[in-house]
Homo-oligomer: A and B are copies of this chain.
Amino acid sequence: MSSRVPVAIVGASGYTGSELLRILHGHPGMAVVSVTAKRAAGARLDSVFPHLRGVSDAVVESFDADQVSARAQVAFLALPHGEAAQVAAALHKRGVAVVDLSADFRLREVSTWQAWYGPGPSEPGGPSGPGGQAGHVGHSTHPAADLLDLAVYGLPELHRARLRQAMAQAKQHGRAPLIAVPGCYPTASVLAVAPLLSAGLVSADGLIVDAKSGVSGAGRSPGLGTHFAEIAEGLRAYKVAGTHRHTPEIEQELSGAAGKPVTLLFTPHLVPMARGILSCVYATPIGEGEPDRFRAALAAAYRDEPFVSVLAPGELPDTSHVRGSNRVHVTACYDARSRRVLAVSAIDNLVKGAAGQAVQCANLLLGFDETAGLLAAPMFP
């Protein structure tokens, strides 16, 4: 234990927090030394999450920046946006490396954060990514805008070099590193199509993302929109037509891949299953070539990726094939009739879409093998 890096989980009463615990429980290089949550402070963690009986005897504490920084070198934040930025600032000031799973440091432009996450009603009725618990309050200004420049967007498949250098650079400047773990929908959607944009195979214009999520993405706070009898045997789109907060995040990353601004249409759906995201990205091809060139471009881009499988022709991703794991299944197809490209990806929203990706980022940050603690096979069925 003594040789493992001590880490804290801040916001452990939600699904992202408990998933971090599940994954770190088997991690050879990190040890969870502090678990905090507002709602459950003082309780045993396994009374909050009975599946952790016999797994963890931790007691949930109230968050205290001094205590956390005294014990942990790295803090994973599984908090609502706004609150996450405040906690991140407090920990960062005390030299703790922060791996933030909220949306607070994902968007490079503070004005974009302001426009999408600033004052206004919270978002009921569906998943908006890890930490998207209900009941949060709008923030008129970003609580830690000065940290935005420091933050590295934690999608290793696109930004691995920056993630690897984050610790060194942070030390160089005497500042703790800060990683912004991507949202669940952006992870699935960006991985599906970014290589096609980078390779100039599809147009940056007119992209459509039709994505479907399991209900755990909506968090653990009960509501009519996540009530079993309302969800089972039902399927719906929600926050359509440019209203879901993951829209600018997907656009930011795809703009980076395309080398030009991307504006797209994003439609999220709620599916009667607990876990999983399937993202379909529709794009217009550029130029002519082999029908399989889109899939081949994905295969080339992800050849050495430890967690990404580009499927063979004729195979299609299924969320049940990646469940419980950090793996990504992805493919792309060309429809000669309509002259359109469809890229499809499947992830587990709580793992590659949240806690697993956070651990993957921390592995890079800490110089561990990128796959440490993340090699468990998917659970099927």
List residues 281-338 of chain A with CB under 8 A from any CB of chain B: 282, 306-309, 311, 315-325, 327, 329, 333-338
**Are B229 and A274 in contact, with the CB atoms below 8 A?**
yes
Residue from A54, A216, A340 whose CB has the most chain B CB atoms within 10 Å: A54
Asked if A278 is an interface residue, CB under 8 A from chain B, the answer is yes
**Are A342 and B265 in contact, with the CB atoms below 8 A?**
yes
**Are B282 and A379 in contact, with the CB atoms below 8 A?**
no
Query: Whole-angstrom distance from the CB of A292 to the nearest CB of chain B?
Result: 11
**Are A240 and B316 in contact, with the CB atoms below 8 A?**
yes
List residues 216-230 of chain A with CB under 8 A from any CB of chain B: 216, 218, 220, 222-224, 226-230
* Complex contacts, A53 vs chain B, CB 8 Å: 309, 311, 321, 327, 329
Per-residue B-contact encoding for A26-37, CB less than 8 Å = 1, 0 else: 100000000000
Residue from A216, A224, A376, A377 whose CB has the most chain B CB atoms within 10 Å: A377
**Are B242 and A335 in contact, with the CB atoms below 8 A?**
yes
> Assuming A232-B381, A235-B318, is B222 touching A224 (CB within 8 A)?
yes
Q: With the chains together, A234 CA to B316 CA distance in Å?
A: 12
**Are B276 and A318 in contact, with the CB atoms below 8 A?**
no
**Are B282 and A265 in contact, with the CB atoms below 8 A?**
yes
**Are B377 and A269 in contact, with the CB atoms below 8 A?**
no
**Are A335 and B241 in contact, with the CB atoms below 8 A?**
yes
> Assuming A242-B338, A271-B272, A338-B263, is B278 touching A324 (CB within 8 A)?
no
**Are A381 and B267 in contact, with the CB atoms below 8 A?**
no
> Assuming A208-B340, A378-B55, A380-B51, is B236 touching A216 (CB within 8 A)?
no
* Complex contacts, A280 vs chain B, CB 8 Å: 210, 237, 267
**Are B232 and A319 in contact, with the CB atoms below 8 A?**
no
Q: What count of chain A residues pass the 8 Å CB interface test?
A: 92
* Complex contacts, A227 vs chain B, CB 8 Å: 220, 222, 226-228
**Are B236 and A317 in contact, with the CB atoms below 8 A?**
yes
* Complex contacts, A236 vs chain B, CB 8 Å: 278, 316-320, 346
A282 partner, pick from B229, B282, B318, beta carbons under 8 A: B282
Q: With the chains together, A14 CA to B222 CA distance in Å?
A: 17
**Are B278 and A316 in contact, with the CB atoms below 8 A?**
no
Q: With the chains together, A340 CA to B263 CA distance in Å?
A: 11
Asked if A215 is an interface residue, CB under 8 A from chain B, the answer is yes
Which residue of chain B is the closest to A381 with respect to CB atoms?
A: B229
- What are 5 residue pairs bridging A and B, where the CB atoms are less than 8 Å apart in the complex? A212-B212, A232-B274, A237-B278, A237-B316, A379-B379
Closest A-B pairs by Cβ, 3 of them: A234-B320, A236-B318, A229-B381
